[in-house]
């Protein structure tokens, strides 16, 4: 009987991952427009301490990023991976494990399902990792992040001012903060 209970718990466990979804440009690093070089990548102040706190609260961290610069021919997918691997390494050095990174290489006219505000990448993440969207958060710097999150069943959304200019009055975000650093005071469990 007891082993049956344990088996059920183990079966349910992967389905209950709570996750903080992060947009990349403007949330993790300063927005420079079609960033594709490591030397242009500057972490926003407080990213590491915020992520360490999310981790201590047993959240997974997943990055969800539109990278239309690939479709536009501004940089290649391998350029993206170089920057991405470097970024993941910097997180690792701070003791932070990023569970996964999803990126959309398409442009606005490609008609894909993954480019935010479409929720495709969030659904991919949910399916791949068994994420419980009702216990998850999205932190982004544009309204498209908020729309994608809501469409994927994430109600807890944070719009940050550290990237693109925001339209606070017309935002559907649950919270509006200066940067990810302040998310530590909002996300407590």
Between 148 and 166, CB nearer to Zn ion: 148
Q: Which of residues 50-79 bind Zn ion (CB under 5 A)?
A: none
Q: CB neighbours of 20 closer than 8 A, spacing ≥ 6?
A: 51, 54, 59, 60, 61, 62, 136, 137, 138, 139, 187
Phi, psi of 65, rounded to the nearest 5 degrees: -135, 130
The secondary structure of residue 122, as a DSSP letter, is H
Choices 7-15, 41-49, 96-104, 151-159 (CB under 5 A): range interacting with Zn ion? 96-104
- The count of residues interacting with Zn ion (CB under 5 A) is 5
Between 43 and 102, CB nearer to Zn ion: 102
C-alpha 179/C-alpha 189 separation (Å) is 19
Q: Which two tokens stand for residue 8?
A: 């059920």
Between 68 and 90, CB nearer to Zn ion: 68
Between 88 and 112, CB nearer to Zn ion: 112
Q: How far is the CB of 13 from Zn ion (least distance, A)?
A: 31
Active-site hit among 25, 141, 145, 156: 25
Q: Which of residues 139-168 bind Zn ion (CB under 5 A)?
A: none
Q: Which of residues 103-142 bind Zn ion (CB under 5 A)?
A: 104, 106, 112, 114-115
25 is catalytic: yes
Choices 3-11, 53-61, 101-109, 150-158 (CB under 5 A): range interacting with Zn ion? 101-109
Please state, as a whole number, how many other Cβ atoms lie within 10 Å of the Cβ of residue 65.
20
Which residues partner with 102 through β-bridges? 64
23 is catalytic: yes
C-alpha 182/C-alpha 139 separation (Å) is 11
In contact, 106 and 71? CB cutoff 8 Å? yes
Q: Which residues are catalytic?
A: 23, 25
Residues that bind Zn ion (CB under 5 A): 104, 106, 112, 114-115
């Amino acid at each position: 009987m007891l082993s049956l209970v344990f088996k059920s718990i183990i079966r349910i466990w992967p389905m209950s991952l709570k996750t903080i979804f992060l947009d990349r440009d403007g949330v993790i690093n300063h927005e420079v427009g079609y960033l594709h070089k490591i030397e242009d990548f500057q972490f926003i102040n407080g990213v590491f301490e915020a992520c360490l706190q999310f981790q201590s609260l047993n959240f997974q961290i997943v990055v969800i990023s539109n990278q239309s610069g690939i479709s536009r021919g501004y940089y290649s997918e391998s350029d993206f991976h170089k920057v991405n691997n470097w970024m993941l390494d910097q997180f690792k050095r701070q003791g932070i494990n990023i569970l996964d990174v999803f990126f959309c290489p398409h442009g606005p006219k490609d008609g894909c399902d993954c480019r935010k505000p479409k929720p495709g990448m969030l659904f991919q993440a949910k399916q791949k990792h068994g994420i419980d969207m009702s216990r998850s958060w999205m932190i982004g710097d544009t309204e498209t992040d908020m729309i994608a999150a809501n469409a994927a069943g994430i109600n807890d959304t944070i719009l940050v001012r550290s990237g693109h200019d925001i339209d606070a009055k017309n935002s559907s975000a649950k919270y509006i903060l200066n940067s990810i650093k302040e998310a530590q005071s909002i996300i407590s469990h």
